Amino acid sequence: MPLDEGFIGREYPPSSPYEVAREKIREFADAVKDDSPLYRDAESAKSAGYQDVIAPPTFAMRLAMTAQDVVVGDEQLGLDYSRVVHGHQAFRHHRPIRAGDVLVTVVHVDDIKARAGNDFLTVRAEIGTVEGEPVCTATSTLVARGTAEEGEQA
Amino acid sequence: MTPTLSQVSKGDQLPELSISVTRGDLVRYAGASGDFNPIHYSGAFAQEVGLPDVIAHGMLTMALATRLVTDWLGDPGRIIEHGVRFTRPVVVPDDENGARVELSGKVVSVDEEDGTAKLNLTAKCAGQGVLGGAYALVRLS
């Protein structure tokens, strides 16, 4: 069965606050094989005009994924996670994430459609500080393969 | 140093990157990102869900493509917007070489009023594209 398009426009409650630690940024930068000193050395980051070390741009996915898991796991929506692949990802950075930020994420369902037997779910995670400063907008399209077909599944 | 508006023209190529991704790298990325989907470490599980073998996290490939841009920019804070479609998985064999991801990019437009440039990015593995419509919008100095 296709997903219920009535979920389009739904907003989920904010995530619990996530405090960005220097060592988490360093671990992430190592994991994506990026040796920029701005991710590791506060002095380098300061000379580039930042208050502290900044995070690689895709670090925002850590926040977005935790928030979108709430949508993916929403039993009323009924997405079959075992069939889900990541179809598309985009980020708009309002400013870099930096060590010391305390971030909350609010996730919105932007679109649901069925095409060629697959369900497409587009969710937008608005990541900002607890003080309300916007930091990053992360938009993900998840594709559930074969779940929009009527009748028996192979 | 971040390239200045006057140094950048439509058609400019970014310096290419070639990065190997091993199973060990996937484990490290899983830990750092919090994405513990077993398709990224268990060959048996991957095959059960119809994949040829263990595949890299799409977000790791996107991170490598992002690094191509931020290396060129010098300052990762100058990336305004970027996006990719995940068109083909990066299959990572269980050996010391892993998979090799080849990244390239070029400037497709420069907006002199905004001081921005749009880049199109390409990521290939074993000669085949693994990202579609990959782009970045960046602020020049």
The pLDDT value recorded for residue B2 is 85
CB proximity A48 to B under 8 Å: yes
CB proximity A95 to B under 8 Å: yes
For chain A, where are the alpha helices, taking DSSP H only? 22-31, 42-47, 60-72
User: Is A126 a domain residue?
Assistant: yes
Question: A90 vs B82: CB contact, 8 Å cut-off?
Answer: yes
Domain count, chain A: 1
The one-letter amino acid code at B133 reads G
B interface residues, A as partner, C-beta within 8 Å: 19, 25, 28-29, 31-35, 49, 58-60, 62-64, 66-67, 70-71, 75-77, 79-86
The pLDDT value recorded for residue A84 is 86
DSSP A52: S
Tell me the per-residue pLDDT of B37-56, one tens digit each, with 9 for 90 and over. Answer: 999 999 999 999 889 999 99
Buried b vs exposed e over B76-111: b needs ≥16 C-beta within 10 Å?
bbbbbbbbbbbbbbbbbeeeeebbebbbbbebeebe
Q: Mean pLDDT over residues B129-137, rounded? A: 98
Tell me the per-residue pLDDT of A14-63, one tens digit each, with 9 for 90 and over. Answer: 999 999 999 999 999 999 999 999 999 999 999 999 999 999 999 999 99
Residue with tokens 């990015």, as numbered in its chain = B121
B123 has pLDDT over 70: yes
CATH code assigned at A115: 3.10.129.10
A152 has pLDDT over 60: no
**Which residues, 6 or more positions from A52, have their beta carbon under 8 angstroms from its beta carbon?**
A22, A42, A45, A46, A98, A99, A100
Tell me the per-residue pLDDT of B54-103, one tens digit each, with 9 for 90 and over. Answer: 999 999 999 999 999 999 999 999 999 999 999 999 999 999 999 999 99
Tell me what percent of the residues of chain B surpass a pLDDT of 90.
93
User: Is B89 a domain residue?
Assistant: yes
* The pair of three-digit structure tokens given for residue A103, joined into one six-digit string: 């971030």
Interface with chain A: mutation pick from B20, B27, B66, B71, highest number of A CBs within 10 Å: B66
DSSP A95: S
Question: A58 vs B83: CB contact, 8 Å cut-off?
Answer: no
What ipTM was estimated for this complex? 0.96
Q: CA of B25, closest CA in chain A: separation in Å?
A: 7
For residue B33, the surrounding DSSP H or E stretch is helix B23-33
Q: CA of B122, closest CA in chain A: separation in Å?
A: 15
Question: B66 vs A57: CB contact, 8 Å cut-off?
Answer: yes
CATH code assigned at B15: 3.10.129.10
Question: B63 vs A34: CB contact, 8 Å cut-off?
Answer: yes
Are residues B55 and B39 in contact, defined by beta-carbon separation less than 8 angstroms?
A: yes
The model's pTM is 0.95
Question: B77 vs A36: CB contact, 8 Å cut-off?
Answer: no
Q: Using alpha carbons only, what angle is made at residue B16 by residues A53 and A29, rounded to the nearest 5 degrees? A: 25
Tell me the per-residue pLDDT of A80-94, one tens digit each, with 9 for 90 and over. Answer: 887 888 999 999 999
User: Is B40 a domain residue?
Assistant: no
Comparing CA positions, the residue from B46, B25, B24, B48 lying closest to residue B37 is B46
The pLDDT value recorded for residue A153 is 37
Q: Mean pLDDT over residues B107-134, rounded? A: 97
**Which residues, 6 or more positions from B20, have their beta carbon under 8 angstroms from its beta carbon?**
B97, B98, B99, B100, B101
A149 has pLDDT over 80: no
What's the CA dihedral at A49, A50, A52, A54 to 10 degrees?
A: -130
Tell me the chain B residues in contact with residue A86 when contact means C-beta distances shorter than 8 Å. Answer: 58-59, 86
Tell me the chain B residues in contact with residue A82 when contact means C-beta distances shorter than 8 Å. Answer: 49
Q: Mean pLDDT over residues B22-38, rounded? A: 96
User: Is A52 a domain residue?
Assistant: no
- Conformation bin of residue B109: beta by default, left when phi > 0, alpha when psi is -120 to 50: beta
User: Is B93 a domain residue?
Assistant: yes
Backbone φ and ψ for A109, nearest 5 degrees, come out as -90, 110
Return the SS3 of A139: strand
For A82, the domain range is 8-20+57-144
For B84, the closest of A49, A62, A89 (CB atoms) is A89
Beta strand A84-93 pairing with B79-86: antiparallel
Distance, CA of B48 to CA of B26 (rounded, Å): 19
For A87, the closest of B34, B67, B86 (CB atoms) is B86
CB proximity A21 to B under 8 Å: no
Domain count, chain B: 1
Are residues B49 and B43 in contact, defined by beta-carbon separation less than 8 angstroms?
A: no
User: Is A28 a domain residue?
Assistant: no
User: Is A33 a domain residue?
Assistant: no
DSSP B94: S
Return the bridge partners of A91, or none.
A138, B82
The pLDDT value recorded for residue B56 is 97
Distance, CA of A106 to CA of B104 (rounded, Å): 34
Interface with chain A: mutation pick from B33, B45, B81, B137, highest number of A CBs within 10 Å: B33
Q: CA of A4, closest CA in chain B: separation in Å?
A: 24
The pLDDT value recorded for residue A151 is 45
